[in-house]
């Protein structure tokens, strides 16, 4: 596998870099401080054909590769992980409909989901359904030509900002074979925005509680096949975990670049601290781990491109990249010393945002369970271990 960039990808990288430096970097600290993201950035990305390049041309994308999409994600995450997460949420649900949706779903929803003007959200988690994704208790019952939804979703990103929510719901009693995905548009009667939770990481993406009380949506809002939602969700995770992994690479790269700059400018004992071996060793480890994480992620994206199963490779990439970002941002604070504990330098924000990557879209612990199941060739271990 050759992961060197083509000339077109080098151009793409430079275009995204210029856009992000102009539109995102100057406001990244503001997003974190105010806990509010400027979603007009998504529209601007769309106008420049930088939103969801992986999407097929017939649906408004560029028909690009997953490496193209990863380049965009990394460059944006280098300036703001929040912006990268928001950008991914603006296209990946439409991509999921392309993958698992029925032809009717594709005709009805994709142009609506992917236009650069609307934002989406995936509502899967509940109070007792996080890692144990099959324990959802929010029900959707069919009454005539309408689904009637009751229950509460938790840790919903883009809460109150989204134009539509992809709900993972129980539609039958079977644990794994009784889950479906239903789309609910904003302002639908019976759906209420609940409490917003204050996070220390990824603060500018609103997150919290979504409440349903006899919320009625048309029967046609079922996405994919009835009672196939759990397996569809697993397929979705294999994609979005990779883009969180490459986001972790981006934020770690920012921490490394900030540390290199500081090591050159900060003087102690009459010389730059970058001249000390211990600082150099830290920088070397940081740079090496970043490259290793990127290559692991690219391998899994390449497999997705070829239509190969990549659950193990995805979990390896997500596990390593997320924990790498945690280590690299920690070292960045150490290199900055006392300055690293202040908000005058961005490394403290990089460190906080990196923590999202080890928890979001499946914790490091569940990634280890998945990998162990794959290498032991026992799919059953994934489900049984997650329930222990």
Mean pLDDT value of segment 321-338: 98
Angle, in degrees to the nearest 10, between helices 229-265 and 66-79? 50
Q: What percent of the chain has pLDDT over 90?
A: 86
Q: For residue 380, what pLDDT is reported? A: 55
pLDDT for 68 beyond 80: yes
Q: Which domains are seen in the chain, by residue range?
A: 7-113 (1.10.540.10), 120-228 (2.40.110.10), 230-387 (1.20.140.10)
Measured distance CA(385)–CA(252) in Å, rounded: 31
pLDDT for 381 beyond 70: no
129 pairs with which residues across the strands? 126
**pLDDT tens column, 106-142:** 999 998 899 888 999 999 999 988 888 889 999 999 9
Euclidean distance between the first and the last CA atom of the chain, given in angstroms as a whole number: 38
pLDDT for 388 beyond 70: no
Per-residue exposure over 196-206, b if at least 16 CB sit within 10 Å of its own CB, e if not: eeebebbbbbb
pLDDT for 64 beyond 80: yes
**pLDDT tens column, 206-255:** 999 999 999 999 999 999 999 999 999 888 889 999 999 999 999 999 99
Q: From the candidates 220, 361, 365, 379, which is the catalytic residue?
A: 361
Q: For residue 267, what pLDDT is reported? A: 97
- Give backbone dihedrals phi and psi of 272, rounded to 5 degrees, phi first: -60, 140
Active-site residue, 213 included:
no
Q: Nearest to residue 163, comparing CAs of 79, 90, 59?
A: 90
**pLDDT tens column, 133-188:** 889 999 999 999 999 999 999 999 999 999 999 999 999 999 999 999 999 999 99
- Give backbone dihedrals phi and psi of 2, rounded to 5 degrees, phi first: -110, 115
């Amino acid at each position: 596998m050759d992961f060197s960039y083509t000339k077109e990808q080098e151009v793409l990288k430079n275009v995204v870099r210029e856009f992000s430096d102009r539109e995102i970097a100057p406001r990244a600290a503001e997003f974190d401080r105010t806990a509010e993201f400027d979603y007009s950035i998504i529209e601007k990305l769309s106008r420049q054909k930088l939103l969801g390049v992986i999407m097929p041309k017939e649906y408004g994308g560029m028909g690009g590769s997953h490496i193209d999409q990863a380049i965009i994600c990394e460059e944006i995450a280098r300036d703001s992980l929040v912006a990268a997460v928001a950008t991914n949420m603006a296209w990946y649900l439409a991509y999921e409909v392309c993958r698992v949706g029925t032809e009717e779903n594709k005709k009805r929803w994709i142009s609506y989901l992917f236009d650069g003007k609307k934002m989406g959200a995936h509502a899967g988690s509940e109070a007792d359904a996080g890692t144990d994704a099959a324990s959802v208790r929010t029900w959707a019952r069919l009454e005539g030509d309408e689904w009637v939804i009751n229950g509460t979703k938790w840790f919903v990103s883009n809460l109150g900002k989204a134009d539509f929510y992809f709900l993972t719901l129980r539609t039958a009693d079977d644990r794994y074979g009784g889950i479906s995905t239903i789309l609910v548009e904003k302002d639908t009667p019976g759906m209420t925005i609940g409490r917003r939770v204050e996070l220390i990481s990824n603060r500018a993406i609103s997150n919290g509680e979504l409440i349903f009380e006899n919320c009625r949506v048309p029967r046609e809002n079922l996405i994919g096949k009835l009672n196939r939602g759990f397996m569809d969700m697993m397929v979705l995770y294999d994609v979005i975990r990779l883009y969180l992994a490459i986001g972790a690479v981006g934020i770690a790269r920012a921490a490394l670049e900030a540390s290199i700059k500081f090591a050159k400018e900060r003087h102690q004992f009459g010389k730059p601290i970058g001249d000390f071996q211990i600082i150099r060793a830290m920088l070397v480890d940081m740079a090496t781990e970043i490259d290793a994480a990127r290559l692991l992620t690219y391998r899994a994206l390449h497999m997705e491109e070829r239509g190969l199963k990549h659950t193990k490779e995805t979990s390896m990439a997500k596990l390593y990249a997320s924990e790498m970002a945690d280590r690299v941002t920690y070292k960045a604070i150490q290199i900055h010393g006392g300055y690293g504990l202040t908000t005058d330098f961005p490394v403290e924000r990089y460190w906080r945002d990196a923590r999202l990557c080890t928890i979001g879209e499946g914790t490091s612990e569940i990634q280890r369970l998945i990998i162990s199941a794959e290498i032991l060739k026992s799919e059953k271990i994934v489900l049984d271990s997650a329930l222990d």
